[in-house]
């Protein structure tokens, strides 16, 4: 039995999230069905990072096992039957104990907003036509790197054993006519990035002070944070693994 890893990208508009939910259209379901069809055996994939409904991914990874040897042509064949909104970028061979979720050492997310109506950004970024204090945005983003407990930014009923996350990067940047929030951490909680973005935007609009923002973090209470921004502005941008853990075959 060999273990393979798919590096994928997808438009989250057409999926109800990445994780398997019965027969509901998800990224994992599409991968399972397509792989099972090509390999003519039941295949179950396991993802590196879960994304919610509407969230996009420029990079996500799924591992699976099969006794069959995959050739370079398999990448083309797989993409030919996957939905148009989902594509496999690369296929890797991995050791039998590789785990896409637990072997990842960091994940990077990017949230995009724009202030002037643009039909080409629909379902690709958040339309947010409000005046923002960018200095407060930068200050709030920097503060997050000083904390490790993010229970306040985890949605209710999340089945996790710890709310501890190590944030390596957290900053806002202007990109053309958009404003982007970039955050990199070893792990993320359910709804965490959207909670961070939405609450920071409330600070930038003057609804919360920077001191209020710190209080919300330290409260460890998700009812104190704001989760109102939509998923369509969020992108899973990168996932890192230890060097040379994967061997690209196509």
| Catalytic positions | 52
Beta bridge partners of 239: 107
Place of tokens 């050791």: 95
For 41-105, what is the HEC assignment? CCCCCEECCCCCCCCEEEEEEEEEEECCCCCCHHHHHHHHHCCCCEEEEEEEEECCCCCCCCCCC
- For residues 30 and 83, is the Cβ–Cβ distance under 8 A? yes
Contact 134, 172 (CB under 8 A): yes
Alpha-carbon distance 131 to 125, whole Å? 17
Residue 51 phi/psi, 5-degree rounding, is -120, 145
Q: Angle at the Cα of 134 (from 133 to 140), degrees rounded to 5?
A: 100
């Amino acid at each position: 039995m060999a273990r393979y890893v798919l590096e994928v990208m997808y438009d989250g508009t057409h999926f109800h999230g990445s994780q398997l939910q019965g027969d509901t259209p998800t990224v994992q379901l599409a991968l399972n069905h397509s792989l099972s069809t090509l390999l003519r055996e039941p295949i179950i994939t396991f993802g590196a990072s879960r994304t919610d409904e509407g969230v996009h991914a420029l990079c996500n990874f799924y591992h699976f096992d099969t006794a069959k040897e995959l050739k370079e042509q398999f990448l083309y064949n797989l993409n030919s039957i996957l939905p148009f909104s989902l594509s496999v970028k690369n296929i890797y061979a991995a050791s039998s104990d590789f785990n896409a979720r637990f072997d990842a050492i960091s994940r990077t997310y990017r949230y995009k907003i724009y202030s002037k109506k643009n039909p080409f950004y629909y379902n690709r970024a958040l339309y947010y036509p409000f005046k923002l204090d960018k200095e407060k945005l930068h200050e709030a983003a920097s503060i997050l790197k000083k904390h490790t407990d993010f229970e306040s930014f985890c949605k209710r009923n999340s089945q996790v054993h710890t709310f501890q996350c190590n944030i390596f990067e957290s900053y806002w940047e202007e990109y053309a006519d958009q404003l982007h929030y970039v955050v990199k951490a070893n792990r993320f909680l359910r709804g965490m990035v959207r909670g961070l973005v939405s609450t920071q935007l409330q600070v930038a609009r003057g609804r919360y002070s920077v001191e209020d923002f710190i209080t919300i973090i330290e409260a460890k209470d998700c009812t104190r944070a704001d989760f109102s921004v939509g998923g369509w502005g969020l992108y899973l941008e990168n996932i890192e693994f230890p060097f040379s853990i994967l061997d690209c075959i196509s």
